[in-house]
Amino acid sequence: MARWDPDARGRLERAALELFVRQGYDRTTVAEIAERAGLAKSTFFRHFADKREVLSGGDALARLLTDAIAAAPPEAGPRRLAEAALAAAGAHAFRPERHATVRERQQVVAANPELTERELLKREALATALTAALRARGVGDPTATLTAELTLLALRTALARWTAHPDQDFTTLARTELASLREAAAAL
């Protein structure tokens, strides 16, 4: 692949994941990632601060979910806002053609304590972003916080089911998980 080919960021992400799966996160260098992507090492650092960030996806998921909340109909209450966020995740981040990539990424993260810790910090930031988006839509506390947390829990449990069963639709799984969590919360 020529160095001038488009989508350097995507190429670096794909190359990194392939190497992390094949030889492990700790044994993969930035130079190897850049070489596999057909790019210079300096190009890697124009897109990512370090090799941990190549797996993070930046704040794309947060933007996707919060944009869906902001774009929901004005009359949407907390449940519909949560459903809109989960539907956006299914339509964009967790499409069927991304299944193998998402599953491999989860395996790499789970095998590395440093990446697992980073993932937990990202979840906290995502909860904060969702809560803020819900508050911006007029949802008060504690409902905004609870809705954000239940939305993320539904997302995580649906994601676990989806990676194990790629033939199932992510959005359907997420809506089912959210409904189960709402029932459980109502029983408290």
The CATH number of whichever domain residue 179 belongs to comes to 1.10.357.10
Q: Over 70: is that where the pLDDT of 2 sits?
A: no
Q: Across residues 138-146, what is the average pLDDT?
A: 96
Residue 28 domain-assigned (yes or no): yes
Residue 140 domain-assigned (yes or no): yes
- Do 120 and 48 fall within a single domain? no
How high is the mean pLDDT of the chain?
92
- Do 13 and 69 fall within a single domain? no
Q: Over 50: is that where the pLDDT of 85 sits?
A: yes
Q: Across residues 103-115, what is the average pLDDT?
A: 91
Total number of domains constituting the chain: 2
Domain residues for the domain of 152 are 57-186
Rounded (10°) CA dihedral 162, 86, 65, 55 = 0
Q: Across residues 64-79, what is the average pLDDT?
A: 97
CA angle 180, 183, 184 (to 5 degrees): 85
Q: Across residues 73-78, what is the average pLDDT?
A: 96
- Do 88 and 107 fall within a single domain? yes
CA distances 180 to 10, 139, 166, 174, Å, are 36, 21, 21, 10
pLDDT band of residue 4 (cuts 50, 70, 90) is: low
pLDDT of residue 5: 58
What CA–CA distance (Å, rounded) separates 60 from 19? 23
Whole-number percent of the chain with pLDDT over 90? 77
What CA–CA distance (Å, rounded) separates 158 from 54? 24
- Do 17 and 76 fall within a single domain? no
- Do 138 and 106 fall within a single domain? yes
C-beta separation of 88 from 64 below 8 A: yes
Which among 4, 17, 1 has a CA at the least distance from the CA of 115?
17
